Amino acid sequence: MNNRQLLNALLLAGISLGTAWAIRGQFGHVYGAAWAGAFIALIIVILAKRPEWYPKAILLAFASAAGWGIGGIISYGVVVGYGRGTDFGNVYYGLLMLFVIGGLFGLLGGGLFGLMLADRPSKPIKWPQLITELTAGAIIFYYFFVEEVGWLMTPPRSEAWSACFGMSFAMIWYMLRNQQYSALRVAVLAGFGAAFGFAFGNFLQTMGSAYEITFNFWNVMEYSIGFFGGIGMAYGTFTSQWEVEEKPVYRNQYLTQLIVLVLIIPFIVWEQSFSTDKLTKILQKINPDMSVSPALAFMQYGSLVLMLGYAIYCLFRFYIQPKNIPSNIDYPQVVQFFFGFLTLYATFSLLKTGAFLSTYRIEQYLYFINIVVLNVLYNKYQPSFTNRGLNLKTWTINFIFVIAFIAILTAVAVSAHNGLNGSETRF
């Protein structure tokens, strides 16, 4: 029974980040990834049903958003192209590099979430020190890998992966020095899940193209990294030990984080995604004979009004209303925040793609089906927490197995086609 509860909870976590990351396919780079990364933290808090976590929900969502968002600086378009090639070496390289890139997304997202979860009065996280070490790690590793050694993953694209690698290294070193083993477990398993999900998603995308299946398989790839990354992050959380040490959280402690989450990130996504030129091209593609102006105004200003309205509501509910008392955020409010924020993100995607006018993007409607499924099932499962520690031997065996499995996927992908549009050659 306990295993079933855990399995179902993991599936819901995977669906949550999978849905958000698929939506993120419309809103790339740092801010789209950050917005998506907030949801896995919230669903973990909802599924865990630990009252001492509810007041920290906004802080946890922000930490997760920051970690997953950092990975948004990595360029991987060319790497995806390697996976669509016709020779084993280039394709295997592409899938392995996507394994690395996905791993960096998950390591940073799961790691910062785990550290925020572990932060308590008796063993506080030294955030200024950690941020300084992350920054130093990014600079040192970027200079060493790219400028000194010349290890280029995606020439001529950005090699920002090396900066994320340096941040991940610095974060893990901090965790080991400060004995933050539970946070380390969350980071490793989130990284492992996202790493496999990205490589496997590229394989699915390649196979979909090879067999000419009419669907947005780029979206399938994005869903895959989110689904497996969400499962890994949730599994790491539910199988780690977290001390029960309640600490009052006051509204001023999360005001900045709340503003960034519900106002700054969505506004930047809106500003980058809802430009007149971009939307006009989408509308003309849907129907060249359509009068663009009414639909364009609805897409631009409708999304802006929704975003500002939701931001005002959240600021009133979580900052103005509590006055100067400890946060009284409870389970229903975390649930409302999760579903309201996720629905807003999905609505942004629906408006941005013009899918409310045409069925040419059927995956857009699947997001809302996912949200309905989550809404029906979120309260039915509560995993039991266990402490499984850091099992390096098991992790090593699983790593070797996955690398071998990716080699099998490579052989299958190479044999499935004679060349695809968008393929790239590294060697």
Q: What percent of the chain has pLDDT over 90?
A: 84
Rg, the chain, Cα only:
21
Judge whether 82 and 90 are in contact, CB under 8 Å.
Answer: yes
Tally helices (H) and strands (E) across the chain: 16, 0
Residue type, 240: S
β-partners of residue 326 are 250
Cα separation, 194 vs 33, in Å, equals 13
Residue 339 CB partners (closer than 8 Å, separation 6+): 371, 374, 375
Say if residue 246's pLDDT is above 80: no
Classify residue 277: in a domain, yes or no.
Answer: no
- Reference 15, options 231, 337, 216; nearest CA is 231
Q: Name the pLDDT band for 206 (thresholds 50, 70, 90).
A: very high
Say if residue 2's pLDDT is above 90: no
Classify residue 304: in a domain, yes or no.
Answer: no
**Based on the number of CB atoms within 10 Å of its own CB, is 53 exposed (0-12), middle (13-18) or buried (19 or more)?**
buried
User: What is the count of structural domains for the chain?
Assistant: 1
Which residue has better confidence, 214 or 180? 180
Q: Name the pLDDT band for 328 (thresholds 50, 70, 90).
A: confident
Classify residue 322: in a domain, yes or no.
Answer: no
Q: In the prediction, which pLDDT does 99 show?
A: 98
Q: Name the pLDDT band for 288 (thresholds 50, 70, 90).
A: confident
Mean pLDDT of 338-365: 95
Residue type, 118: A
Classify residue 244: in a domain, yes or no.
Answer: yes
Q: In the prediction, which pLDDT does 324 show?
A: 63
Q: In the prediction, which pLDDT does 68 show?
A: 98
Q: In the prediction, which pLDDT does 327 show?
A: 75
Residue type, 167: M
Judge whether 225 and 199 are in contact, CB under 8 Å.
Answer: no
Residue 115 CB partners (closer than 8 Å, separation 6+): 63, 125, 130, 171, 175, 180, 183
Q: In the prediction, which pLDDT does 291 show?
A: 80
Asked if the peptide bond before residue 156 counts as cis, ω within 30 degrees of 0, the response is yes
What is the overall mean pLDDT for the chain? 94
Cα separation, 352 vs 262, in Å, equals 18
Which residue has better confidence, 157 or 376? 376
Classify residue 135: in a domain, yes or no.
Answer: no
Q: In the prediction, which pLDDT does 100 show?
A: 97
Classify residue 75: in a domain, yes or no.
Answer: yes
- Reference 221, options 86, 359, 350, 79; nearest CA is 79
3-class secondary-structure state, position 287? coil
Q: In angstroms, how far is the first alpha carbon of the chain from the final one?
A: 51
3-class secondary-structure state, position 120? strand
Say if residue 239's pLDDT is above 70: yes
Q: Name the pLDDT band for 293 (thresholds 50, 70, 90).
A: confident
Tokens of 305: 């009004």
C-alpha of 124 from chain center: 26
Classify residue 377: in a domain, yes or no.
Answer: yes
- Phi/psi region, residue 325 (left: phi>0; alpha: psi -120 to 50; beta: rest), is beta
Classify residue 231: in a domain, yes or no.
Answer: yes
What's the domain range around 380?
A: 2-125+180-250+362-415
Mean pLDDT of 284-294: 85
Tokens 């052989």 locate to 411
